[in-house]
Structure 1
Amino acid sequence: MIYILLISIIASYISNNQIYSICDEIKKSKTNTVIIYTVIILTMISIYLKYGFTIESIKYLTLIPFIVIISIIDYHTTDIYDITILSGIIIQGIIFISTSNKDLNSASHISAMIIGLVLAYIISKITKGLGQGDIGLYSLCSFTLGHDYAIYLVSLSYILACIYCIYILFMKSDKIRKIPFAPFISLSTIIIMMTNNDILKIYFDIIGN
């Protein structure tokens, strides 16, 4: 446990520094630092407690710093930098190749990435609501999650975004602006990591009743 705590603190420190190196538009602030450290440390510890030291947990743990960096930058600038997506895919690709012989569900990661990429691309063309960075993030997260979670990821992220839009309309109507989508994709990814598909089942059960 102490090792994962140390790893999460180091990951938080590196992520906090990398954000300002990648995007000079963002000014250093204590709020960003607190959010980064809190989210990364709590999420990584939770993943370790749930999965232990497994192939799955390694994939998830290495993804967390990337989606936090991407989300923070997107929230402040509504931009997603290619370097963050490509770096995440490279890391996940190395892990995938290194562990494919031991992972019985390795094929699902490839299929999930393709589904996530194609589905996000189609939605972006139809709605014009997603940028290329969002498509890349969907691909990265779907690739990491595997288990055919791509459709679930897209559905859950839109549900969370809709809830936020309703909040904005009713509570902050004077501050409406372009809504960054990466935080919702990242939050949905973390929820899936921690609950698998239980949340969506509960949601549709409520809607059905």
Structure 2
Amino acid sequence: MQPDPATTALVIVDVQNDFLPGGALGVPGGDAVIPPLNRCASAFAAAGRPVLATRDRHPPDHCSFRAQGGPWPPHCVDGTEGFAFGAGLVLPEGTTLIDKGTRADADAYSGFDGTDLAARLRSAGCTGIVVGGLATDYCVRATALDGRAEGLAVTVLTDAVGAVDIQPGDGERALAEMAEAGCTLTTSEEICPA
């Protein structure tokens, strides 16, 4: 399913300090996603197309944290430095922020999970999304797959995602799963030429 550029939004997933190198759950080389995302965000905004950015906004006792029996160290706790977007990320004026994982008792990897992302896209007349951010094998994967489940054309920017790779190859397997679900895998240069 090929996206119509005129009705496609850019969704930047979780480019937050705790997912960048040095953060509580830093993705190795994760800061490499920032330049291509900045270029695409600028291009989308200049064309009058929606730019949305998801972020984990966890309470201190979130169920995904090890102290509550979850798999992860505390990360992206609301109000902390780790919660903030990476300093190098340039979000255009008018970017829509989508907070997820805000309830202590519910996890949310996907930008669609427990948010109004789908409704916002529909109200903007969007039929497709271009997705990049962190991490390939978790929140990018979940957001892309849920986008397909919502009937959207989904394009994943392979040069603007980074994987945790807890098991070696998790990122590559996630990309293959997204492609199998009908997502288009391409690069930011193809979508937003320099």
Which structure has greater strand proportion? 2
| Larger Rg computed on CA atoms | 1
Answer 1 or 2: higher relative contact order, Cα 8 Å, separation at least 6.
2
TM-score higher than 0.5 here? no
| TM-score of the two chains, using structure 2 as the length reference | 0.33
| TM-score of the two chains, using structure 1 as the length reference | 0.32
Which structure has greater helix proportion? 1
